[in-house]
Amino acid sequence: MTDSITLTRPDDWHLHLRDGALMQQVTPASARRFGRAIVMPNLTPPVTTTAEALAYRERILGACPPESAFTPLMTLYLTDNTTPEMIREAAAQGIIACKLYPAGATTNSDSGVMDIRKLQATLETMAEEGILLLVHGEVTQAEIDIFDREKAFIDNVLEPLLSRLPELRVVMEHITTADAAAFVRSRERNLGATITPQHLLFNRNHLLVGGIRPHFYCLPILKRRDHQEALREVAISGDSRFFLGTDSAPHDRYRKESACGCAGCYSAFAAIELYAQFFEEAGALERLEDFASHFGPDFYGLPRNNDRITLRRAPWTIPEVLHEDAEPIVPLNAGATLNWQLADG
């Protein structure tokens, strides 16, 4: 049995660091594990301009431990009013991606895009400037079942968008269905996908059997087991279009344990350890490094990290709650055992 894994330092290609006190609490956990992270712009109010993104970047750097070399990669939140000029300015200032939230699809998405077809000139400029489009891939029409919203997005929004913009590089974030996995595989180029630890480790039974478990509630919602199986298969397949993006999305415990609990799982406290748990369960530990550390930078056209991290087998119990004396957060899979620990240094 392997007792230690050393791998190129991984990156997180989908992360919510929030702002203010919560950002101070959660940022060190990501900075310890990852070299870089694509930071989501869904603050309140959202990060829609380059100036806001650069100011946010400074606040994040201020929340990193002093010795940390963590690099936040900044994104802009697309709205109906994002112009080609704004994209050119963003590119000039080192912003590497824009995020599409269909209006109303998820946490803090109210100012999201109403009709993506109206943003054609902006998206063309993104393709020209080499800025990636990251999508929360769910439609929002009330009549579409919540379990079908990802598939409907692929058919009604994503496929036509990719046909209109063959040069635009797109990442379908947090994919949750066999349909999304098959769609990404079916494209020739320019489409990648991130997969979260919760969608690899769990399915909707974990959310709903024996009581409603709000800490497994995220969007897109956990799907049935056969979708989980399809995601597991592509994650270990060695297909370089699928890579790590935690979607770690912390919320105060009391906003999740509520009559109307909000969406988001907190995984940054042990993100790479959770993925290692899954790869080991799947008998594919030797594929972890490609998924976690190689395929993401390759897709983004960035260099791979040149330092390494080590995980050691040392089983521990995930605490029931973290940051109890500040804003308490319940971690993903609280109370369960994780086999791996990050070695210091």
* Residue 335 one-letter amino acid: G
Q: What is the DSSP string of 32-46?
A: HH-SEEEE----SS-
107, interface contact from Zn ion, ligand NCD, none, CB < 5-8 Å by kind:
ligand NCD
The active-site residue out of 11, 12, 179, 247 is: 247
Dist CA 291 CA 10 (whole Å): 9
Q: Which residue is nearest to Zn ion (CB)?
A: 136
When the beta carbons of 154 and 285 are compared against ligand NCD, the nearer one is: 154
Q: 247 catalytic, yes or no?
A: yes
Q: Does 106 bind Zn ion (CB under 5 A)?
A: yes
- Residue from 12, 150, 247, 273 binding Zn ion (CB under 5 A): 247
| Residues at the site binding ligand NCD, with contacts judged by CB under 6 A | 16, 42, 106-108, 136, 218-219, 247, 249, 263-264
> In the numeric block, which tokens belong to residue 261?
């609990």
Contact (CB, 8 A) for 178 and 226: yes
Q: Does 12 bind Zn ion (CB under 5 A)?
A: no
203, interface contact from ligand NCD, Zn ion, none, CB < 5-8 Å by kind:
none
Q: How far is the CB of 108 from ligand NCD (least distance, A)?
A: 6
Contact (CB, 8 A) for 246 and 276: no
Dist CA 19 CA 56 (whole Å): 8
Dist CA 249 CA 284 (whole Å): 27
297, interface contact from ligand NCD, Zn ion, none, CB < 5-8 Å by kind:
none
In angstroms, how far is CA 167 from the centroid of its own chain?
A: 23
334, interface contact from ligand NCD, Zn ion, none, CB < 5-8 Å by kind:
none
Q: For the beta carbon of residue 318, count every other beta carbon within 10 angstroms.
A: 18
Annotated catalytic residues are: 247
* Binding region for Zn ion (CB under 5 A): 106, 136, 247
